[in-house]
Each structure stands twice: as C-alpha cells, then as structure tokens.
Amino acid sequence: MLRLEKFRSSHIDEFSQTCPRFILARPSTALLLLLLLLIDFDLQREKTRTEKGGIPAGMKMRKFAYCKVVLATSLVWVMLDMFILLYFSECNKCDDKKERGLPGREEVVPRAHEGPGEMGKPVVIPKEQQENMKEMFKINQFNLMASEMIALNRSLPDVRLEGCKTKVYPDDLPRTSVVIVFHNEAWTTLLRTVHSVLNRSPRHLLEEVVLVDDASERDFLKRRLEQYVRTLEVPVRIVRMEQRSGLIRARLKGASLSTGQVITFLDAHCECTVGWLEPLLARIKQDKRTVVCPIIDVISDDTFEYMAGSDMTYGGFNWKLNFRWYPVPQREMDRRKGDRTLPVRTPTMAGGLFSIDRDYFEEIGTYDAGMDIWGGENLEISFRIWQCGGTLEIVTCSHVGHVFRKATPYTFPGGTGQIINKNNRRLAEVWMDEFKNFFYIISPGVTKVDYGDVSSRTALRQKLQCKPFSWYLENIYPDSQIPRHYYSLGEIRNVETNQCLDNMARKENEKVGIFNCHGMGGNQVFSYTANKEIRTDDLCLDVSKLNGPVMMLKCHHLKGNQLWEYDPLKLTLVHVNSNQCLDKASEDDSQVPSVRDCSGSRSQQWLLRNVTLPEIF
C-alpha cells in the first residue's frame, strides 16, 4: 500500500496525500456502524432475556450466536473488498478536490474556481482601468495589475505530451532544494512561483525553497515576506545579499546554503506545472553528470496567459554569443527514434531554470564568480558541461512557465552592455579557443572591454581535462551558427565598385545590403563556409528567383537556395540553383546587390578577405 501511495503521488500531484484518508473515511464509518448494530442487537437480546425472567440460553440461542459470528465475519470481508475497490476507483475524484485547493490554505490564498487567469487563461483588464494598468506595467515590465488579479495558486492546464502523463518514475528520487534569486520582484509573481513549487512537487522530493534577495529595495519583500513564508508547510528560507551582487553570485550563495542533493534554480516569475519535478530528478538519478532543464512555457507579460512551449526547439547561440532557440535538428530526432517524450540533448541552456546534482555542480566549478550581474553565465556553464564530460538536456516531460519580458526592469551598475561584454569575453577566452574570433570580429569594440583575471577558470579547464571547443562544435552542435570549417571570415569586396557586402543590421527575411568597406568587422563580416554558404551570424544569403533579390534567411544547412560556388580564379560567386552570378548593386537600389547572368564583368568579381582582428590584449 505504501508503494502504491508513493507511485500515485508522483502522478496525481500535490493533493494525492489527502486521497487515501478521504477514501478510508467512508468504509471505516460503515464498519463502525456495523459494530454498533451488533452491540445494539446484543443489548436487545439481553433485554428480552431479562424480561422473560432470565431463561438460560437454550439450543436455539446458541445457534443464533453462531449465525451472528458468520454474518459478522462475512460482512467484514465485504467491507474489506469494498475498501479495496474504493481505493482504486475513487482516486479520480481527488482531481475535483484538487480544484478547490488544500484545506486550511484557503484563507492565505483566496481562490475562486472561475477566477481570473484560472487554467492559465488570459486576464482582460476593463477599459476604464487601462490607464492605470499601463502605469503599473512600468514597475516590473509586465502586467502587474493582471498578476495581482490572479490567485497565487491558480490552476494551470496539463500541457504535457500524452506519453508523458503515464510515465512512471522510481520512488527513491534524490530530493531537491529550489533556489530562487529575486531583485525587486513583484509580490504576486514571486509567491506564485513559490506556491506552484509547493503545490506541484511531491512533498517527499522537496527539501526546501531558498529565496535569495539580491538587495531589493521594496518594503514588502522584507518583514512581510518573512512572515508570509513562515505559514507555508515547506521550509522556505530567505537569504539576503548585503549589496547588489547579481544573479551569479546570488545563486552561488543560495546554492551553498541549501542542503538538498539536487539544486534546482528557478527564476522569480515562474509557474511549475503538474509533474514538472519527477522527470528532472529521474534523469539526475540515472546519471548525476546530466544537467536538466524543463521546457520553458511562456507566460504572457501582457495577459499572464499560459502558453505551452515547444519540444521541437533547443538552445543555441549566435556569433554575438546571444542565446537563441533553434529547431531541434533531424539527427537529434533520429537519436531518440522519433520519441518526443525522451529528453533532448541541447547545446546550450537558456539559464533561468535547471536542475543539477550538488556534487556535480561543485565538481565542474559551479559558476564563474568573476562574471558580473547577469549574461553569458548560461553559455559558460553549457560549454563547460559539454566540454568537461557532462550532458545537458531539455526534459520534454517537464514544463515550467516563465514570464518573458520585452525589456529588463533591472538596473545594471555600469551599464548593461559593458557587463554582458565583459562576461562574454570571459566565456570566449576560457572556452572557445580560436572560435572566439567570430565573436570578436562581429562585435567591434568588445575587445576594448577589460575582462579581469581568468587564470583560475583556465586552470579549472586544465584540471578537468576538458575537450576543445572544436570537439563541441563537431559532436554536440554540428548545426552551430559558427561554422567549424570555412574558407573565409571577413569582408566580401566587389572588385569594380570596391564596396562590401553589409548586413546593415537588418533582420531575418530582409535584403542583404552593400556599402563602402570600413574594415571594422561588425556588419560587414561574412563567412564563406565549407558547406558553401555565405553567412553573416545565423543568417544565410538566399536567392529564390531569377535576377534576385538576395535575401538573408535563417541558415537551413540543406544547400538549395543557399548554395554558392566561389571560383578563386575568376573571382565569381555563382548561385548554383539559378546559375547566376552575384553582381554589384542594381541601378534602382544602390544599397542592394543583385544576381545576374554570369558575364565575366568586373562587377561580378569578389574578393573574400579575412579581416585581421583589432589588437586584443
């Protein structure tokens, strides 16, 4: 029975513990009633006996007593059967119970069944309140008014793949501490994160919640928060940083003060859904060198609507070392034999949400404490995990929602750009070997940023005998935006006009430009790769009809319209599919190159030159 209960608790989530008690109540009442009846019958009999003047029990009476015993025993058996039957059949009813929330918490967390945002529905703000709503939006860069209308323990849809809902996990999973760093977070989003952890994690798997306050200035996050968390049934500790320290150092502090075998990091504006924790812990139990992320669902910053994230995207990065989502490639689908419920090996993590074994976290060198505030740390730990013998996965059966914002509400001491550039330089210098050049030449000016001392991190890389970045690109991220092999990395210069191809900082699905060469890298950096693509960052030159235009599309690695043949003698760039040549700007638009029938003219000749890096050190 104990096993059964544990098994179920991992599936019917938080309220299953109340379930057996709930069922037990009725059969035991019935049994009690039966007993009372029997006693009552006995008393009645005694009464008649005395009324009749104490006639000694005859043959008839003994026969009756015998019948009574038989009757009672069979009734007991019937009740036992019923109890077992009920135990198995009634548990569906616990789901109704779930909707109402745990008894006793209702005072703390008011909850209406049909309230705003229930089941992850969007919250609509009435017209007359929209002015106020816009004002409140600025405080946290999300719709704070909507957030305040939603119950702290709102219900959410079960967005998992069908195959995930029936998976069974071992009983003895490692316990986790959940570490949440916050800085001036809204009350409602922070506590909705905490309640979703408490409500949707099996109690025996949750060691504690550690809230790390990175020097917030808001009053309600002080004593009021401390008083509130004291009422919760799981230990919730609040740790305060003495001064603004940034995500990385705050997480390190939270991790060092926590005690669970697994550390789960969450952002301060998340919502965990049913069954989120077990699949994460199960992977770590199988192999403690596996670091796991849930699928990050989207909580709208405008309406707080809950939208399922895709299991068909995984983490990558572009030349500027920005984290980006890209489609899961076919090779990874094939490795899993098409089973989308199996974890996806991901080259990088988004950073906000993941679980890691405590010993392994220590072993691979936690975080780079030389990084400031925020940015770059997610790629740093991703590269480190892969290059130093670990595995990084997205566990597609685990879903956690996160409020994605369009702008950051935080202040960065010293300026956002400077900090991220510094962090990225540390990342590039320690882990990327010669491939750091992609980052440096596309981000002019970055080489002037001081990145401090990285000697302890390079020593760590030595000690752990981590593999080179080329190995990572070859084996873990072959569809990387950074080409492993290439003919050139630099400018592409037209022989006749002396102008260079230029992405003009345009976006995907726009035309590539052409402009006077400036020799500074940045927007004029293109790579002619071994796969014969012409790429600038994660975009490839693409032509889909005769005579142009030349577009910049996401590289698809399938050749097709993105295949170019460079002739180093004729200096021509032939678009293979159309058999036309890349030409200077057309008459009608002086800033856009064209494709024309190959004519051998100087306007169709191009020089592919490697840009020399500016002085780095």
Give the nearer residue to Mn ion in terms of CB position, either 267 or 542: 267
Q: Indicate the DSSP class of residue 603.
A: G
* Contact track, Mn ion, 218-257, x by CB under 5 A: ----------------------------------------
Name the token pair of 445.
Answer: 């000016």
- DSSP code for 161: -
Size of site (CB under 5 A) for Mn ion = 1
* Alpha-carbon span 72 to 67, nearest angstrom: 9
CB of 402 to Mn ion, least distance (A): 6
- Is the peptide bond preceding residue 549 cis, with omega within 30 degrees of 0? yes
CA distance 410 to 357: 30
Question: Considering the complex, what minimum distance in angstroms separates the CB of residue 119 from Mn ion?
Answer: 23
Q: Which residues contact 41 (CB under 8 A, 6 or more apart)?
A: 68
Residue 304 or 435: the one with the smaller Cβ distance to Mn ion is 304
Q: What is the β-pairing status of strands 236-240 and 206-213? A: parallel
Told to check if 213 binds Mn ion by CB under 5 A, we report no
DSSP 153: T
Closer CB to Mn ion, 13 or 267, in the complex: 267
Name the segment binding Mn ion (CB under 5 A); options: 263-271, 422-430, 467-475, 560-568: 263-271
3-state secondary structure of 304: coil
| Nearest approach, Cβ of residue 370 and Mn ion (Å) | 23
Nearer to Mn ion, 373 or 525 (CB): 373
Q: Are 534 and 542 in contact (CB under 8 A)?
A: no
Q: Which is nearer to Mn ion, 213 or 267 (CB)?
A: 267
* Min CB(321)–Mn ion separation in Å: 19
CB of 403 to Mn ion, least distance (A): 7
Pick the stretch among 174-182, 264-272, 309-317, 392-400 that binds Mn ion (CB under 5 A).
Answer: 264-272
Beta bridge partners of 593: 585
From residue 149, how far is each of 102, 117, 411 by CA, in Å?
20, 8, 27
Q: Which is nearer to Mn ion, 317 or 440 (CB)?
A: 317
In angstroms, the CA 307 to CA 609 distance is 46
Q: Which stretch binds Mn ion (CB under 5 A): 101-109, 261-269, 491-499, 526-534?
A: 261-269
Q: What is each CA distance from 594 to 107, 172, 377, 499, 526, in whole angstroms?
A: 69, 64, 41, 13, 17
> Looking at beta carbons only, is 267 or 271 nearer to Mn ion?
267
The residue within the footprint of Mn ion, chosen from 267, 297, 542, 583 (CB under 5 A), is 267
Smallest gap from Cβ 269 to Mn ion, in A, equals 6
CA distances from 205 to 229, 281, 363 (A): 19, 9, 23
Q: Which residue's CB atom is positioned nearest to Mn ion? A: 267
What's the min distance (Å) between Cβ of 561 and Mn ion? Answer: 37
Scanning 51-59, 267-275, 316-324, 539-547 for contacts with Mn ion by CB under 5 A, the matching segment is 267-275
Q: Which is nearer to Mn ion, 376 or 521 (CB)?
A: 376
In our burial notation (b when 16+ CB lie closer than 10 A, e otherwise), range 168-177 reads: ebeeebbbbb
| Residue ranges that bind Mn ion, judged by CB under 5 A | 267
